Structure 1
Amino acid sequence: MEKNTICHPVTSPECPVSPSTNYDLNARIVANYAPADGTSQNVVVFYLTYGGSGVSSTILISDHIPTHPPVSRTTGTDGLYTAYFTSSNPGSFNVSAQLRSDPSVSTSETITFTPVVTYPVFLGPNRVSTPPETYFWD
């Protein structure tokens, strides 16, 4: 049975090649466990291939981090797109991407933002200052 998508049996401008069953989308985390300070970044590289070679096309990225809507991005001619994620909320979040023209071509990874410790910390009546192994340079 033939697979019908926006790219097959008719090729639309959104599709560089048809049918889309030969597409493959992968994700690789290159930076993880960033502090949840709203500026530090976790980084995921998405790689879209067709028949084993990188291709340019539009992918829809969802990170499931509160207040972050899904976004459409175009991979480079090499099939790569690097996504940077920030969060003010500690925790683990599923990051997923799908080929815009065929949502069945998809991938996902889990990134984690760590809690930010603000000093001083109070442990009962005891005050803990900046850890002794922390150094600040001018």
Structure 2
Amino acid sequence: MAPTPNKTLQTDASVEAFLAAVEPETRQADARAICALMARVSGFPAKMWGPAIVGFGSYHYHYDSGREGDAPRVGFSPRKAALTLYIMSGHQDAALMARLGKYKTGKACLYLNKLSDVDQGALAEVIAGCLAYMAEAHPAT
């Protein structure tokens, strides 16, 4: 049986239009700041992945199960409950994460209630660390 196709694919949708529709205004301002930070740190332009993820760069993955696809190297989504950053946070240095501020983590996500809860310099280092990890684990082709 063939694997289920991925739902989250890179699209040609406008990142600006997506960000302009984020509410409330404080969440939109945070989303714009994270977008600028990720673009600066990654060196990749922002692209939409599915209807609600802004991603930077891409990589191809292949699991032992046979499932494979493409995903952004780093990305974020300004969700209602939290700003969700897709940054493979599990490999980060504990001292750096302690400097970050108030956050929660998931398997491959960093959740922020608001950007002012974290040290943005430390956040830039976390993003850069993720990109370094991704470059090693999934070299650009």
**TM-score range relative to shorter protein:** under 0.3
TM-score (norm 2): 0.23
Between Structure 1 and Structure 2, which shows a larger proportion of helix residues?
A: 2
Q: Which has the higher contact order (CA 8 A, sep 6+)?
A: 1
Between Structure 1 and Structure 2, which shows a larger proportion of strand residues?
A: 1
TM-score (norm 1): 0.24
Greater C-alpha radius of gyration: 1
